Amino acid sequence: MTFPKNYPYSPPDFRFERPIWHPNVYPDGRLCISILHSPGEDVMSGEAAGERWSPVQRVESVLISVLSLLDDAETSSPANVDAGVQLRKDPEGYREKVRQDTAKSKEDIPEGFEMPTHESIFKKEEPKHDDFSWSDSEAEADFGSESDEEMFDDDESEDAEGGEEEEEDEDDDEPQDNRRK
């Protein structure tokens, strides 16, 4: 995949270095796919403008589209007419040709190369041993300090004073009621 100087306003170019047998791959390895066609309306192509390149596309969306096309070829307007005809008329012969191309392409893999798997792309982190616990922190010093006890003592004395006032008010009410009777 190569990117033009005015990317993302123009689509990247995508080409298989080793051409593959596929209805949507030209004999020189270029790929025929709507998402890589220049933006705008093209009446002759039959593609809607929304199917073509736009600056909001990302490399990821291009690669997903390429994989999807490789899996499900568009045979109505093939770039490789012979591959398209063979896929329609002789699907088993087509698959055999694809298997042969795949075997040849393996010759291009450098010696010692290890093909990544889904699991291998994620770096497995070793569990970290954390010797720190909350009991090692200074937070323990916050509990049971004298200032906390003083705070509670202040609350209790305020409640006690408030309670005494209420009791006194009740006592004051009774004698007044007694006097009225």
Considering the domain delimited by 1-108, tell me its CATH architecture. Roll (3.10)
**Which residue in the block uniquely carries the two structure tokens 């009791």?**
167
- Tens of pLDDT, residues 135-155: 656 655 555 555 555 555 555
Q: What is the per-residue pLDDT for 116?
A: 77
pTM over 0.85: no
Contact 36, 16 (CB under 8 A): no
Q: Annotated active-site positions, please?
A: 32
pLDDT of residue 63: 93
pLDDT value at residue 172: 52
Q: Which residues of the chain have pLDDT under 50?
A: 164-168, 181
**Cα dist. 58→7, 15, 61, 122 in Å?**
10, 17, 5, 22
Per-residue pLDDT, 98: 94
Give pLDDT, residue 141. 57
Domain regions of the chain by residue span: 1-108, 144-180
**Residue 76 confidence (pLDDT):** 86
- C-alpha closest to that of 58 among 8, 10, 5, 13: 8
SS3 of 20, please?
A: coil
Q: Report pLDDT for 103.
A: 92
Question: Rounded CA gap, 100 and 103, in Å?
Answer: 5
